Structure 1
Amino acid sequence: MRLTYCIAVICMLVLRSLVVSAQVAATGSIRGQVLADGKPLELATVALPGTALGTATTAQGYFELREVPAGTHELVFSSMGYQAQRQRVAVRAGQATEINARLVATPAALSEVVVTGVSRATEIRRSPVPIAVLTRREVNLNSTGNVIDAAVKGVPGLSAVTTGPNISKPFIRGLGYNRVLTLYNGLRQEGQQWGDEHGIEIDQYDIDRIEVVKGPASLMYGSDAVAGVINMLPRLSSEADGHVHGDALMEYQTNNHLLGTSVGLRYAHNGWQYGARGSYRLAQAYRNALEGRVYGTAFRELHATATVGVEKRWGSTQLTATLYDNLQEIPDGSRDSLSRRFTRQVAEGDQDDLKNRPLVSAPDLAMYRINPLHQHIQHYRLLSRTRWHLGNGELHTLFGIQHNLRREYNHPLAPQQAGLAVALNTYTYDVRYAAPTWLGLETTVGLNGMYQTNTNRDATDFPIPNYSLFDVGGYVFLKKTFGKLDLSGGVRYDTRVLRWPDFYVRLDSTTGWAQQVATSTGADPQFAAFRTTYRGISASVGATYNLSERLLLRANVARGYRAPNITEVGSNGLDPGAHIVYLGNRTFGPEFGLQEDLGLSAYLPDAEVSVSGFLNNIDNYIYQARLTGPDGQPVVVVPGNATYQYQQGRAQLYGAEVTVNLHPRAWPALAFNNSLAYVTGVNKEAALLEANGAAAKYLPLIPPLHTRSEVRLTSQRRWRRFTQPYVRAVLDYHAPQNRFYAVDNTETRTAGYALLGLGTGVGLVKGPSQREWLQLFLQLDNAFNTTYQSHLNRLKYFEYYASSPTGRRGIYNQGRNFNAKINLLF
């Protein structure tokens, strides 16, 4: 009832604002021509920042923006290979305003506008913290199992912990899970992020832009952003011509026979915008040269999105609803001890003989049907974003409702009985006011937070309690420019209240499984009642200095804050998908990280060069450790499952990223892009080091040194109906990881490997406007079918035997994969 009531209230408020705004609308239009080197510039982008209004120029360089609210606006002209230009324009109701632009060629992107992790729209080159942006085209260039993997391939310093091709958890500079905040159109993604067995509940076909902030962003978002922020921005309507536009995408991948399809529709007229998208993906188990198909890695995924919004003189508002439904198999890595073929669990408890499980047949490995041991994740999202013009200032509001239902089915003799079933409801709010600039000082104040409840449903395992969480934080952010120097900084204060009542569990005499009960006379609760309050102060101060027009120095110091998540504090049970019993610690305090960033960027005529380094010291760092008894042997709470208890100490991470992108003016078709990312994480807790020695020196889940080089040739001329044809070759090298968390064999050394990717693609245009109507992307990954294990692949440790006849342990990553993607635009 509470969820239904909140949805109804938000819908009423949004609809009321839409009706009121429609009555006071007054619009005009802007038209003109964009030139470069005295010639018309085709496909240049013309947009009004902060709105959904935008278009592309015709073959003659002409453009027109309709339904523009009357008033004074800043118009941005941009195109690949040219320096963006801003012009202020006054629009009168019922009239067309003429304006022309002349862009100056420059190989470096000197002023790309982003909004993630900062108080208001800013330029990448003027941000004191490293920011990376991936466009929809860059995402399409890479054949990936999910949107996080696409981002990893394009952003140095970004990595992912994976559990198969459809489950990826983002890590920024060696920190992940609840230390990286993932956003969907500005709304924090809340879907049991502490879990290992499911990925990001976002439709990758609907994402138009990915923005990544590397470094603490707690100032803007509060807890869970100590490592950085990833914002997934959906595609919005940019045409306002009163016609329906859209796209239909089809994708096929050979390795796991992935089939993907997505259809999106957009319509805009008289300031109103509508959008809808439906996407569906299904895949069989993936394969590699060593093991063949890997049992338990098939999936089936459905997405649906609907959006309505309005853009008027007073501002804009938008209401978005999304649905995510995922059936995902759960791998466990059980095999025949001699042949190393995968086996299937068919019994439980004493009846489950690991050494005599039946082999999985070849037909069962090569099918789209989901096996009985799987997880079912459903995520529903309702998001309202509104922007009001208040004089020369702006007020931004965001309200969101999310419902996440996660069920894991792990009983082979009772496949309909969930082993884990948790329902998470999250109500998010964010209010931000960007005050008018006063004496060159930009001031932003904000308040945001969330209210969250978690409920265990009919299940047999209960790893976390039924809890409620209330989060609130307020901040102020200031920015001022002194000639070539930009200074920015702010401070924030957060409060989080976490609590749960007594939670009793007892065995059901009929089924033999545990069940939740209201009371248990004479028995201790599995989760005793608990209440605590976490508080934290976040702050940052940063500067960018333009040594010259093309050389920029940046520095930033930030204090990040993260309250412990529910599993770190309250867990006391088996997570059946992970095969781990987690034990929390109620005495934990918040994590606090102090990070220093220093970077140098050079925007040269024929190249872009960027070097950035960081040092991050974390107090109260939370990590997992295998629980051992007085005899030094591992404690077994549930037979066949490991037992881990969370610990807290001090840690330090440091590293660097380097990019060198060559774009020679003498050969504009050529792009030679290179990047390097390195991070090391070390424990600083004396007691842990004293007890375990060198085995505890390094932190877990630290990616090895990674380099990536891409050579791309893109035709700058159109050939008949073909536009932007390209060919590319990409070499990814991951060095051996010899610095790992070796306590209790939690991690082991990982060998280095190199992967070669090849790709090509082209667009087709038609009609007098030469509008692009088809895009084709072909990509071959792991061209040599290399057998390898990523250090951040959780399947590497899915092994039941102490030794293997082949000398290889765990599950290996995906082999050669050819991807074909066709996108029809209309």
Structure 2
Amino acid sequence: MKKIIFILFIGLSAMLHAQNSLSGTVTDIKNQPIIGVAINLPELHKGTSTDENGNYSLSNLPSGKVKLSFSYIGFTAQNKIVNLQQKASVLNVILDESAFQIDEVIVSTAFNKIQSQNVMKVEHSSIKELQQKGTSTLIEGLATIPGVSQVSTGTSIGKPVIRGLSGNRVLVYSQGVRIENQQFGDEHGLGLNDAGIESVEVIKGPASLLYGSDALGGVLYFNPEKFAIANTFVGDFSQKLFSNTLGSNSSLGLKTSTENWKFLVRGSYNAHSDYKIANGDRVTNTRYNESDFKTGIGYVNSKVSSILRYNFNKLDLGIPENGIEAQSTSKKTTYPKQGVYNNLLSLNNIFFFENSKLDIDLGYIANDRSEFTDSNQANLQMKLNTFNYDSKYHFPKIGKLESIIGIQGMHQTNANSGVEFLIPDATTNDFGLFGTGNYEWKTNALQAGLRFDNRKINAEAKGIPGEEGSFAKLDRSFNSFNASLGYKTNFTEKMTMRLNVASGFRAPNLAELTSNGVHEGTNRYEVGTQNLKTEQNIQTDLNLEYKSSHFEFFANGFYNHINHFIYTSPAGTQINNFDVFDYIQNNASLFGGEIGIHFHPHPLDWLHFESNFETVTGKKQNGDYLPLIPANNWNNAIRTEFKIKDWLEDGFATLNVSTTLNQNNVSGFETKSNGYTLVNLGLGGKVKLGKTVFDLNLNGTNLFNKTYIAHLSRLKNDGIPNIGRNIVLGLNFNI
């Protein structure tokens, strides 16, 4: 790794620089200049904005085709491809007004197009938008996206669920690297802090073609914050306060850039007491503390873009095993608890050739997870070290055909150092080879791809057979071929249809194959099955969208069939007074979708009404329902935008009513859940007091202090309600 970094950062400085430049003017349809339009070159990590005359200028650009995005609130974003064959090029852009959200460039798909051009429907949301909803954690914000929910343990631990699938079936990417953190456990959270993350993209459906095993159910792709514009130095400080948990979230970030070099650093600290339910009681030991540090350094010229990022995250999480006991507002966790350390190092490189490019991404993740029962000696301590590599070559475009070929791989080791073992020491190796192409004509696009993967898992025998903590020797190899086919067309200028059929796979994880012991986080004895087969699925997705100046409608439907679906089932026996759960398999299917509208009536340009409904049903082959399927949800919001004289800009006020229906379709060992309605309120904007400028957000969630228990809450079996009313005050200063 050190040799690679040395070559890419020291050797690059000796490369010759091309002197290509691009300039132009951005105007509206009335030929009036637009001030502050963001021009971004995502592959080069470069950007600028238009001046008071709508002019922009970019220098030190590579020869050949360069992709740019032009975006500004209130206007339709544009994605442009410019073929730079001369030293000075000019590109003037006209933006059309739009009442709806900016059409963002999607990074998680193969060809990095704006969403309106994508064959696959991808949900995109900025972290700022999620934070304005008043949620206290990143996963709570994600759960407000249609089709996404969470398996929660209090307010501190949440696992994403995409259309009924979670755990190892949902792959998480950050800094361009797949996150590996023992995600098989229901009480193993993301281990990511939203500070220093700019946006999230959600692929709802099998994405094994691009990401391999564990993307069978979908992908969460987190985009890190951008570097500063060239020749600037900027900083920001944010502070959030939470009434319910007496919590505090602080973040400080600094970044600077030259034409070639870029640097940023950010530190964050998060602390919360036990959360309070509607009757005023606090749920014992749901407190938690989080420290997060992110930094990045990059070098970019006309030939190469190379970005090195590092993220350290430390979590101290209380585990609420005993319900509601002695009341406390302390933020110091008690036993039982978890201690989690995550180190993420990524190196993202793009090499530009005349008409093609090569992406090489390298990643290293060190996850140290400990679980403590009644002392500072860890009962379970699992150390997972993972090295990832991902290389993609983008061929020169032939007419209207774009194509990519790539290889991916992973080397992973799991080592135990605690008193108890849940899974053995083991080594996992992945290798994948894929190719994909995208063909566009008129308003149509066709995208297809093929992929082959192999996963090998090896573990040595340990202990005395038949006793707790013993493991038989494991030597398994799993192969899978997968394909995808997608088609997009515009029926009219305003109506778009997308149809995608894709297969995906997931090799059994180490816990499913080998578990033999008490999992302290779930308080049960888990037994793995060594002869489990690979999960293999095929999913069909249909998306319809209608967009006009003042009305937007979407409808998404899916059907997902999974062969050899793996899940835990109670064995009906006990070991050492713990219920035994076995890992078993059964064919399964999931189906459902999302539907929604966004109405922006004319001439009430300040008013927006949004409504969406989401549903998913999961069944085994024998007709029984699958466990951990989220309840249907209907979400409604009224949002206003306003300005108050010279002291408040970009003002907003939002009233949200979220109705979750009864969940009566439950598996054999689950209980049914009652529906509930929550009312949330948010307001804020950019405040100007003399020379002091800051962003202000004030949010209230569960305003009427409703007592409710979410179906996917892990505290549900103990009858413990979710969080009561919570008021969140957020301030952000640029320094």
Please tell me the TM-score bracket, short chain as reference: over 0.9
Match of 2:366 among 403, 410, 418: 403
The aligned residue for residue 678 of structure 1 is: 615
CA deviations 1:59-99 (Å, max 9, x no partner) are 55444445555666344322233223355657799x87665
CA deviations 1:95-129 (Å, max 9, x no partner) are 8766543212233558532121x212123223333
Counterpart of 1:724 in 2: which secondary structure?
strand
The aligned residue for residue 647 of structure 1 is: 584
Query: Are 1:756 and 2:665 counterparts?
Result: no
CA distance in 2, matches of 1:545, 1:110: 21
Q: 8 Å contact 1:480–1:488 — kept in the other structure? A: yes
Letter in 2 for 1:135: S
The aligned residue for residue 539 of structure 2 is: 595
CA shift, 1:291, in A, is 6.1
Query: Are 1:107 and 2:30 counterparts?
Result: no
Residue 763 to residue 91, structure 1, CA distance change in 2 (3 Å)? farther
Residue 97 to residue 766, structure 1, CA distance change in 2 (3 Å)? farther
Which structure: larger Rg? 1
The aligned residue for residue 419 of structure 2 is: 460
Percent of aligned positions that are identical? 30
Query: Are 1:196 and 2:186 counterparts?
Result: yes
Q: 8 Å contact 2:105–2:115 — kept in the other structure? A: yes
Q: 8 Å contact 1:307–1:319 — kept in the other structure? A: yes
Q: Which residues in structure 2 correspond to 1:334-349 (within 5 Å)? A: 334=323, 341-342=324-325
Query: Are 1:617 and 2:617 counterparts?
Result: no
CA shift, 1:50, in A, is 2.3
Q: Which residues in structure 2 correspond to 1:239-318 (within 5 Å)? A: 239-241=229-231, 243-290=232-279, 292-318=281-307
Q: Which residues in structure 2 correspond to 1:361-376 (within 5 Å)? A: 362=327, 365-376=328-339
CA distance in 2, matches of 1:124, 1:72: 20
CA shift, 1:721, in A, is 3.9
The aligned residue for residue 201 of structure 2 is: 211
CA shift, 1:271, in A, is 1.6
Residue 524 to residue 276, structure 1, CA distance change in 2 (3 Å)? closer
CA deviations 1:589-608 (Å, max 9, x no partner) are 10011111112111122111
Q: Which runs of 5+ in 2 are unaligned?
A: none
Match of 2:387 among 402, 422, 427: 427
Query: Are 1:449 and 2:405 counterparts?
Result: no
Residue 17 to residue 708, structure 1, CA distance change in 2 (3 Å)? farther
CA distance in 2, matches of 1:724, 1:574: 53
Q: Which residues in structure 2 correspond to 1:374-773 (within 5 Å)? A: 374-411=337-374, 415-457=375-417, 459-504=418-463, 526-628=470-572, 635-639=573-577, 641-684=578-621, 686=622, 697-715=624-642, 719-741=645-667, 743=668, 746-764=669-687, 773=693
Letter in 2 for 1:296: N
CA distance in 2, matches of 1:571, 1:191: 17
The aligned residue for residue 138 of structure 2 is: 147
Residue 246 to residue 67, structure 1, CA distance change in 2 (3 Å)? farther
CA distance in 2, matches of 1:763, 1:611: 34
CA distance in 1, matches of 2:98, 2:729: 33
CA deviations 1:482-511 (Å, max 9, x no partner) are 333211111101000001011127xxxxxx
Letter in 2 for 1:373: P
Q: 8 Å contact 1:110–1:125 — kept in the other structure? A: no
CA shift, 1:469, in A, is 0.2
Counterpart of 1:47 in 2: which secondary structure?
strand
Q: TM-score, normalised by structure 2?
A: 0.96
User: Which has more helix, going by share of residues?
Assistant: 1
Match of 2:120 among 125, 129, 142: 129
Q: 8 Å contact 2:342–2:366 — kept in the other structure? A: yes
Q: 8 Å contact 2:19–2:59 — kept in the other structure? A: no
Letter in 2 for 1:585: T
Letter in 2 for 1:451: H
Indicate the RMSD between aligned Cα atoms, in angstroms: 2.3
CA distance in 1, matches of 2:353, 2:60: 20
Letter in 2 for 1:636: Q
The aligned residue for residue 45 of structure 1 is: 38
CA deviations 1:292-326 (Å, max 9, x no partner) are 10001000100111100012100301001111111
Residue 248 to residue 402, structure 1, CA distance change in 2 (3 Å)? same
CA distance in 1, matches of 2:703, 2:218: 33
Residue 555 to residue 791, structure 1, CA distance change in 2 (3 Å)? same
Q: Which runs of 5+ in 1 are unaligned?
A: 1-5, 335-340, 343-359, 506-519, 629-634, 690-696, 800-809
Q: 8 Å contact 2:469–2:516 — kept in the other structure? A: no
Letter in 1 for 2:149: S
Letter in 1 for 2:49: A
Letter in 1 for 2:726: N
CA shift, 1:36, in A, is 4.7
CA deviations 1:195-248 (Å, max 9, x no partner) are 12231121211110111111110000000001111111110214112x321211
Counterpart of 1:40 in 2: which secondary structure?
coil
CA distance in 1, matches of 2:117, 2:85: 33
CA distance in 1, matches of 2:502, 2:64: 38
Residue 60 to residue 710, structure 1, CA distance change in 2 (3 Å)? farther
Counterpart of 2:665 in 1: which secondary structure?
coil
Segment drifting more, 649-658 vs 56-65: 56-65
Q: 8 Å contact 1:30–1:68 — kept in the other structure? A: no
CA shift, 1:135, in A, is 1.4
CA distance in 2, matches of 1:91, 1:441: 20
Q: 8 Å contact 2:499–2:543 — kept in the other structure? A: yes
Q: 8 Å contact 1:550–1:604 — kept in the other structure? A: yes
Counterpart of 2:96 in 1: which secondary structure?
strand
CA distance in 2, matches of 1:559, 1:490: 11
CA distance in 2, matches of 1:102, 1:294: 55
CA distance in 1, matches of 2:612, 2:715: 27
The aligned residue for residue 694 of structure 2 is: 774
Q: 8 Å contact 2:364–2:386 — kept in the other structure? A: yes
Counterpart of 1:313 in 2: which secondary structure?
coil
Counterpart of 2:143 in 1: which secondary structure?
helix
CA shift, 1:172, in A, is 0.6
The aligned residue for residue 180 of structure 1 is: 170
Counterpart of 1:14 in 2: which secondary structure?
helix
Letter in 2 for 1:122: K
Residue 614 to residue 88, structure 1, CA distance change in 2 (3 Å)? closer
CA distance in 2, matches of 1:461, 1:530: 19
CA distance in 2, matches of 1:491, 1:572: 37
Counterpart of 1:504 in 2: which secondary structure?
coil
The aligned residue for residue 9 of structure 2 is: 15
CA shift, 1:185, in A, is 2.4
Q: 8 Å contact 2:26–2:54 — kept in the other structure? A: yes
